[in-house]
Amino acid sequence: MAEENKGITLTDEQKKKRRSRSVAIALVLAALVILFYVVTIIKLGPGVMDRAL
Amino acid sequence: MSLVERQDTIGQDSAVWDGGMGSVSDYVALLKPRVMSLVIFTAFVGLMLAPGSVHPVLGAVAILCIAIGAGASGALNMWYDADIDEVMLRTRKRPIPAGKITRDEALAFGITLSIGSVVTLGLLVNWFAGAFLAFTIFFYVIVYTMWLKRSTPQNIVIGGAAGAFPPMIGWAAVTGSVSLESFVLFGIIFMWTPPHFWALALVKNGDYTAAKVPMLPVVAGETSTRHHILAYAVLLAPVAIAPYLLGFASPVYGAASAVLSAIFVALSFDIWRKREGDAAKAACWRLFKFSIFYLFMLFALLLGESLVAGVLA
């Protein structure tokens, strides 16, 4: 027996808006990752790249 | 199929959901971009004037965090004031009264950005600046929006402090502390805010009356508001010239701020003098528009002088 759909079914308009918001959130998260990486390098200095193997 | 697209049903108890209609631009509108631009500019001036130096990337991060924190305050303000915004012509097209974003969505957005901006500023720049930003958001949302705005005609006076903190936060991002100079920057915006908003409130008196917001013209009357505008304009002048008097701005700034302040007082006197009809309304608009130019010029002059000093050094 198919599972009964009790939730809200989004309209096409809602799905479209959600997709654009999701893309924006993904871009912001990616920018934050890059930002924290760059700031880490700045705070630790170039020495972070120069370590004994 | 992406993870976010996988589930197209939300919740269990209702088949109709009025949320999820906000576009990215609607969420940007929640941040009050025009107010944010002033915050960015004044915070940048505070950061540039502060003694010492900060890595340019860390400086940019500080400005970004202050801007996002200010935007988060704007979103939380729109969440709480949705009932007022719906009544006032000036704010009726904001995302919540326009039905594009629900109050719950605005609340979640505002809280997320508040925490994100404070934590990022604290972790990446310094925790004094982060705590100061947190206090500013608290002051604007809790003290001004939720408490003062609906309870006292002095709402703009005390609430204006929230808008005056950004240059101090910019200063704190560099020095990790505050000082007399940063208090002067605070003082300029703090003293500027009441006459700026009261000039607008005199023109939009009907809007505030309809929304039952106890702005000074609504509660104390237009005559009393005119007295207040003139008094604040006179008190603002020495604060605006103070950077020169205290020795952290040049005589050029001193002369320019004196001339600008004289015009500010003259326009305020014009409002005080013209009390009826279109002439009165035009006088209010003139001061309102000039006040924006006035604040921009004071801070631009301070910024210009710090840049010139940096080049010469």
Q: Please state, in angstroms and rounded to a whole number, the distance separating the CA atoms of residues B157 and B135.
A: 17
**CB contact B18 to A (< 8 Å):** no
Using the 3D structure, point to which of B177, B200, B227 is the last residue of a domain: B177
CATH number at residue B154: 1.10.357.140
Using the 3D structure, point to which of B177, B197, B229 is the last residue of a domain: B177
CA-based max dimension of chain A: 63
Q: Please state, in angstroms and rounded to a whole number, the distance separating the CA atoms of residues B46 and B10.
A: 46
**CB contact A12 to B (< 8 Å):** no
The pLDDT tens digits of the residues spanning B80-108 come to: 999 999 998 888 999 999 999 999 999 99
Asked if B20 lies within 8 A of A17 by C-beta distance, the reply is yes
In this prediction the pTM is 0.88
Contacting residues of B for A35, CB less than 8 Å apart: 61, 124
CA distance B87 to chain A (A): 27
pLDDT at B227 over 80: yes
Locus of tokens 């004044």: B42
- Give the chain A residue nearest B58 (alpha carbons): A39
Nearest to B37 by CA among B215, B295, B301: B295
Contacting residues of A for B55, CB less than 8 Å apart: 42
pLDDT at A2 over 70: no
Q: Residue B22: which of A17, A19, A36 has the nearest Cβ? A: A17
Asked if B57 lies within 8 A of A38 by C-beta distance, the reply is yes
How far from the centroid of its chain's Cα atoms is residue B233's Cα? 19
ipTM of this complex = 0.80
Locus of tokens 């500023």: B121
Using the 3D structure, point to which of B130, B159, B177 is the last residue of a domain: B177
Q: Please state, in angstroms and rounded to a whole number, the distance separating the CA atoms of residues A9 and B29.
A: 27
Asked if A21 lies within 8 A of B23 by C-beta distance, the reply is yes
Same domain membership, residue B272 and residue B154: no
Nearest to B171 by CA among B185, B189, B157, B156: B185
pLDDT at B8 over 70: no
pLDDT band at B12 (very low <50, low <70, confident <90, very high): very low
Contact B186, B168 (CB under 8 A): yes
Q: B114: which 2 tokens?
A: 């508040």
Name residues whose C-beta falls within 8 Å of residue B218's C-beta, 6 or more positions apart in sequence: B153, B201, B205, B208, B209
Asked if B9 lies within 8 A of A14 by C-beta distance, the reply is no
Q: B245: which 2 tokens?
A: 């008097």
> Residue B223 is part of which domain span?
179-313
Same domain membership, residue B293 and residue B209: yes
Q: Please state, in angstroms and rounded to a whole number, the distance separating the CA atoms of residues B156 and B173.
A: 27
Same domain membership, residue B170 and residue B41: yes
Contact B78, B95 (CB under 8 A): yes
Same domain membership, residue B241 and residue B149: no
Contact B144, B162 (CB under 8 A): yes
**Stretch B176-197: mean pLDDT:** 95
